[in-house]
Amino acid sequence: MKIAMVCNPHVSVPPKRYGGIEQIVHVLCEGLTDKGHEVHLYATGDSKTSGFLRYIYQESTWPPDVHREINHYSFAFTDIVREGDFDLVHLHGANALPFTRFLPDIPCIYTLHHVKNETLSSLYTHFPDVHYVSISEYQKSQEIPLANVRTIYHGLDISLFSSSSKPEAYVAFLGRITKVKGLHTAIRAAAMAGVPLRIGGPVHWVDEPYFKEEIKPLMRLGDVTHLGDLNFKEKVGLLRKAKATLFPIEWDEPFGLVMIESMLCGTPVIAFPKGSVSELVEEGVTGFVVRNLKEMAELIKSQKLTDFDRVRCAERARERFSATRFIDEHEALYQEVRQSFRACLKPQLALL
């Protein structure tokens, strides 16, 4: 198949550091290319792909600029129309949906990478013919009813992860430093347990007050180190050596890529039961679900964590969250969407 993969112009594919969506898009592009498909990635010029790279902006920029984004999508769809022989278009940004009107003869797929948003849900009602991919059953259950939607869990290249049977004496927190991710709770839990906490993640401009006013004072409670925004290798090193990865989220996260990255390293996740957590964490196998700060602190210093089977954790994560499974499920969806689209076109062509 000839596939147009349309990402945003905000972060390169793959991301140099922070960028969960862009990491997943990279896995998808590389996997499909390896299977013999012709993939055209619409991203930024500083992106890397084994397929064909198309771009209007040489470099990614942050924070997001909606005007730049619209210009990027306009370029992408103009190029897709000009080429004229794509089998399918896969979108990874909601603002690209209106441009699908210019592709009446090509099936389109859109991955829901975000938590429920009323404005976006309203937008989806205008595009009932688009096929949607949810990233968890929880996310799908919260969204408006969509005519065509399927859940496909994220997957990663398992060869890039390895487990350690002898973790170091610290727990980890990895993710954007923002209130809903619950870093303040992670710091308190580690301090209550008397265990060092190592933090990896960027502080975005909107979260600077939270970091300065709430997180910095809390860091005095114990042995807390902020390592800053980490690249992929540094991120895996942090997770692999940790006793556990703390995930005390305060929002209904639709997936949580950090969780499966930790599991693939054999490191258990200790998380609050919000969003997709209970769907992804298998109790006692890949992690633990706790209800509050007290339970998290108690688990950190418990025998359960000491006796945790890290080899079994990594094996189970490979079974559930491999790039191979992820690519195969997308490839199957693409074939089904193409067949369904052709079936719908035949009656229309017969009337001409």
Q: What is the pLDDT of residues 8-38, one digit of tens each?
A: 999 999 999 889 999 999 999 999 999 999 9
Q: What is the pLDDT of residues 46-58, one digit of tens each?
A: 999 999 999 999 9
Dist CA 114 CA 103 (whole Å): 24
Percent of the chain whose pLDDT exceeds 90? 93
Q: Tokens 């009656």, residue?
A: 347
Phi, psi of 13 (to 5 degrees): -115, 115
Q: Place 345 in a pLDDT band, splitting at 50, 70 and 90.
A: low
Say how many C-beta atoms besides its own lie within 10 A of residue 159's C-beta. Answer: 9
Q: Place 350 in a pLDDT band, splitting at 50, 70 and 90.
A: very low
Averaged over 264-270, what is the pLDDT?
A: 98
Dist CA 68 CA 66 (whole Å): 5
Res 252: pLDDT: 95
Which residue ranges form the domains of the chain, and what is each CATH number? 2-155+322-350 (3.40.50.2000), 158-321 (3.40.50.2000)
Averaged over 333-345, what is the pLDDT?
A: 89
Res 351: pLDDT: 43
Residue 85 has pLDDT above 50, yes or no: yes
Q: Which residue type is seen at 349?
A: L
Residue 346 has pLDDT above 80, yes or no: no
Dist CA 45 CA 60 (whole Å): 8
Q: What is the pLDDT of residues 174-227, one digit of tens each?
A: 999 999 999 999 999 999 999 999 999 999 999 999 999 999 999 999 999 999
Phi, psi of 38 (to 5 degrees): -95, 105
Res 241: pLDDT: 96
Residue 138 has pLDDT above 60, yes or no: yes
Say how many C-beta atoms besides its own lie within 10 A of residue 244's C-beta. Answer: 25
Q: What are the tokens at 18?
A: 């922070």
Res 62: pLDDT: 87
